[in-house]
Chains A and B, each alone.
Chain A
Amino acid sequence: MTYKIIIIGAGVTGCSIAYNLAKKGMNDILVIDKSYLTAGATGRCGAGVRQQWATKANCIMAKHSIEFFEHAKETLDYKGDIEFKQEGYLILATTKEEDLQFAKNVALQNSLGIPTKKLTPEEALKIVPHLNPKSFISATYCQTDGHLNPFKMTDAYYQAAKKLGATFNFFEKVLDIKHDNDIYTVTTNKGIYQSEILIDAAGGYSREIGLMVGLDIPVYAEKHEILVTEPISKMQGPMVMSFTKNLYCQQVPHGSFLMGRTTPNQPKDHDISSSHEFLDEMAKTIDDILPKIGELRVIRQWAGSYNMSPDKQPIICESDELKNFYIAAGFSGHGFMFAPMTGILISEMILNLPLSLETVMLHINRFKHQTTHEVEKSVV
């Protein structure tokens, strides 16, 4: 079978790219995924969407993506509920250095039109009264940050792309890719397909896909864990986050609390098993910062892969070495919240349209010529 474009990966990134291409009239697309819709990082993520970043690239990607989420249900004509809520992210500073860094972040965010405010502990406690007042020294708050359901959001993109003519093949694993005479030949466990254009949106496996065509994408998979509590009546509006205390915690519209933290020194591999170390550390962190939430029962813990890039910012570009090979990878834990802009940018690159954003800083070439990078610090 021959298509104009093949996309590898049906997570939110692949589905957003498929939708944006199809909407612009390019619907001769095949999306291949080795498992079910959202089986990888999308369906395992913390479901938060925020604009409070320390680098310009991340701030702009996030801001435009939130603007899309605000109207996503209508734009995609989705029958279900994407469970979007905008009750902000409250990010806690716990050290003097962090307090100073946050002042810089707020200035950067404000200069880009993101309405973040710096708060005193008293102001933060008005927004989340059950915070331990001794656990932080100041905070930043952006009201338009929030949450949406990754399964529903991806389903919305998937349904819309399908309606516009895109083809999706699930439970089909890519085994080999050849590039001869400007044609990509993709061999899976079920068939052989050809296309002019190939897009690597394989999340945790994007490096492996690159290697199949001889491209060394400097990303790797790293396990991150999350847990969920029993649902209760609404008691917390915003996502509470701390980089130094290593925590994010939000009550989703369904009523349960989702929370996660990074376990240090994870190996670079595809392991997504659950660990008791995570559960212990998560429980202690919550007991310190949000003691009231500690009364809730944990129902389940799970894990997924971040696809880490050297500067913790995404790679969104066409490869210089390989014609018509596009990369959307290395989101470092934030592919879900950037997906609307990822889809728009990749579709504009492929169709030679004016770009909605300056994308030089998202190009893979930044890792070739430089040994030091501006690394995003605002990451859990």
Chain B
Amino acid sequence: MSKKDIIICRCEDINLQELHDLMNQGFTSIEDLKRQLRVGMGPCQGATCLPIIQRELAIFLKKPIEEIPLPTVRPLTLGVPLKAIARGAKDDL
């Protein structure tokens, strides 16, 4: 199966070939790959792609997977409409 047909990030439609191309260029941290490919920045916040990328980097760098750091976890866990947040904030007053 071609690496182009293996989807790594469903939110941003990134395939394994694109990931390996950047790793070969020297982008070998998840933070670097995230900024170049938008992996982990979509609506699922990396739930699917981050463990896969972590494993690919571990293989590439010949390191144990626990030595591949994950990016900072930021709010929100799920997408929430701005209006709902504004309404909630006003109700708090």
A-side residues, CB < 8 A to B, are: 35-39, 43, 151-152, 155, 171, 228-230, 254, 274, 276, 279-284, 286-287, 291, 293-302
Contact = CB atoms under 8 A, between A and B. Distances in A.
Contacts of A38: 35
A301 B76 contact: yes
A281 B92 CA distance: 12
Interface stretch (B2-10, B50-58, B60-68, B77-85): B77-85
Nearest to B89: A280
Given A37-B35, A43-B35, A284-B86, A297 B81 contact: yes
B36 A151 contact: yes
Contacts of B29: 36, 171
Nearest to A280: B89
A172 to B, nearest CB: 13
B59 interface: no
10 tightest A-B CB contacts, nearest first: A297-B79, A280-B89, A283-B85, A283-B86, A294-B83, A151-B35, A287-B86, A294-B82, A283-B82, A284-B86
A284 B75 CA distance: 18
12 contacts: A230-B43, A280-B86, A281-B89, A283-B82, A287-B83, A294-B82, A295-B83, A298-B79, A299-B76, A300-B76, A301-B74, A302-B72
Instruction: Find the residue from B79, B85, B92 having the highest chain A CB count within 10 A.
Output: B85
B83 to A, nearest CB: 4
A283 B92 CA distance: 14
A141 B72 CA distance: 37
Interface in B17-43: 29, 31-32, 35-36, 38, 41-43
A230 B79 contact: yes
Interface of B: 29, 31-32, 35-36, 38, 41-43, 45, 72, 74-76, 79-83, 85-86, 88-90, 92
A254 to B, nearest CB: 7
Given A36-B31, A36-B35, 16 more contacts: A152-B36, A171-B29, A229-B82, A274-B74, A279-B76, A280-B85, A280-B86, A283-B82, A283-B86, A283-B89, A284-B89, A294-B86, A297-B43, A299-B42, A299-B76, A300-B74
A282 to B, nearest CB: 8
Contacts of B92: 280
A297 B80 contact: yes
A299 B43 contact: yes
B81 A296 contact: yes
| Max chain A C-beta neighbours (<10 A), residue from B31, B35, B80, B90 | B35
A293 B76 CA distance: 18
Given A279-B85, A280-B89, A284-B86, A298 B76 contact: yes
A43 B79 CA distance: 22
A283 B80 CA distance: 11
A279 B76 CA distance: 10
A274 B79 contact: no
Given A38-B35, A287-B83, A301 B75 contact: yes
A283 B41 contact: no
A45 to B, nearest CB: 12
Nearest to A275: B75
Q: Among B36, B41, B75, B92, which residue has the most Cβ atoms of chain A within 10 A? A: B75
Indicate the member of A274, A283, A295 with the most B CB atoms within 10 Å.
A283
A249 to B, nearest CB: 10
Contacts of A284: 86, 89-90
Contact of A298 (B31, B41, B82): B82
Contacts of B32: 36-37
